Amino acid sequence: MSEESSMWAPATQTPFTPLNGSNFTVQNLPLPPSFTWGAATAAYQVEGAARQDGKGPSIWDTYSHLTPSRTNNDNADVTCDHYHRFEEDIKLMQSLGMETYRFSISWSRLIPLGGRDDPVNAAGIAFYNRLIDSLLEHGIKPSVTLYHWDVPQALYDRYKAFLDTEEFRADFERYARLCFSSFGDRVKSWVTFNEPYIISIFGHLNGSLAPGHCVEAGTDTRTEPWRVGHTIILSHASIVRMYASEFREQQKGEISIVLNGHFYEPWDVSSDTDIEAARVRLEFYIGWFADPVYLGRDYPAVMREYLGERLPSFTAEDLELLRATCSINAFYGMNHYSTKFARQLMSSSPADDWTRNIEESSVNSAGEEIGPASSMPWLRIAPDGFRKLLNWVWSRYHLPILVTENGCPCPGEEDVNVAVDDEFRQQYLGLYLDSISRAIFEDGVKVVGYYAWSLMDNFEWSSGYGARYGVVHVDFETLKRTPKNSAYYLKKTFRERRKQA
């Protein structure tokens, strides 16, 4: 078996204390002394204050109020009320030993109408200044995401946001410049976009996330996702160029993008077709964005071959921009939660297929599950897949990897006692940190940090308040915060693991 194909060999099952039928054991392996850790949130999910102090509506304000509901009859008008309680939350982060807080800025809080000629909201600028200053006062490094799914509704109304590449790029450049000039003297870590795959596919093909484009809504799902992705890639490159030419020398910061992705194992490990399917699925999922952004080149050839005219083309000027900016990206931002099996289907594929007719599953041809399920059926404990993905990304892009999101919701977490005594989450986090350690010390992969998703329970998009990912429990009636045992576990494990290194 070749070195490449060995990556798709059956996952090694390490012994592990019984937990919902699983059999893995956390080893608490060491991490480098310089390894940094913290937690992450997104503005729409935690801030609340949806119509306060001049904030304009975003597509998520609209989407979460549709009838019938697309968000489990919930919305984020108040959610965690982080807008008013951020000082309490920052003190809590400090008490838990967190070194970094990754949060996003609400575009429509800064520019309520979103556009390059629209007024700036001074109250929005003031809020993020207070947040950033308080973080620094408490010894916590701010890491800022410019866009986490919440484009101003006004821009969607004007030109459908991402579907007009040139208009969106111009408006996003103005917004990004405002952020760099307002906060860049203190913020040294920037992310342009969070999870463009999700924006493109879930927002503009299956319609499960804002703005809800899908066949049933009458939108062109054959081409829209690829047009959206194209806009994001070029907008990211424009912002990276701007930051490097106008701000980096003085502000001494770094910038990149955050990509999500599962790892894929072949549904039938003895099938060359399914082994190829696992490779292809990674290129369609991750290579779609990472190849242009980090390698400065066209989309993966397998995408170009399968999608044909559905996939936009880069102009010579576009490719020049991508080549000029690919080396400026300071890290590979990785959001990762689980692993799936990939099976190549032989039947005809639908006209708007986005996977090359590859089926994803949590069960393989032998009826074996990839790992024990969290409260979300798709999210399984599969730490070996995480290690393999770290290796795949490092080998292909050779950039320091910053794990910008990782975590899970526990089975039974609707019971507050289960939620606080979250053994399942502690096992998950411990196993995934062990995988990082193995990738660093045994495989030579450069992984520089880890941000748990999420700091606290919050509005989980289409799941509303039904899924809890936080290491801090939130009572959404009283808004009381209670650290879960996983929060204390992370504090202790990072203190001890880095001592061992």
Terminal CA-CA length for the chain: 33
Residue 18 has pLDDT above 70, yes or no: no
Measured distance CA(316)–CA(295) in Å, rounded: 15
Three-state SS annotation for 195-256: CHHHHHHHHHCECCCCCCCEHHHCCCCCCHHHHHHHHHHHHHHHHHHHHHHHCHHHHCCEEE
Q: Of all helices (H) and strands (E), which one includes residue 90?
A: helix 82-95
Which whole number is the average pLDDT over 4-16? 38
Q: Which of 195, 265, 283, 460 is catalytic?
A: 195
As a whole-number percent, the residues of the chain with pLDDT over 90 amount to: 94
Instruction: Clarify whether 249 is annotated catalytic.
Output: no
Instruction: Clarify whether 405 is annotated catalytic.
Output: yes
Which whole number is the average pLDDT over 169-195? 98
Q: Which of 47, 405, 413, 460 is catalytic?
A: 405
Q: Tell me: the pLDDT tens digits for 399-433?
A: 999 999 999 999 999 888 889 999 999 999 999 99
- pLDDT at position 16: 30
Measured distance CA(235)–CA(232) in Å, rounded: 5
Identity of the amino acid at 138: H
Which whole number is the average pLDDT over 53-59? 98
Q: Kindly write down the DSSP assignment for every residue of 314-339, as one continuous string.
A: --HHHHHHHHHHGGG---EEEE---E
For the entire predicted model, the pTM comes to 0.96
Query: Closest by alpha carbon to 190, among 7, 64, 331, 317?
Result: 331
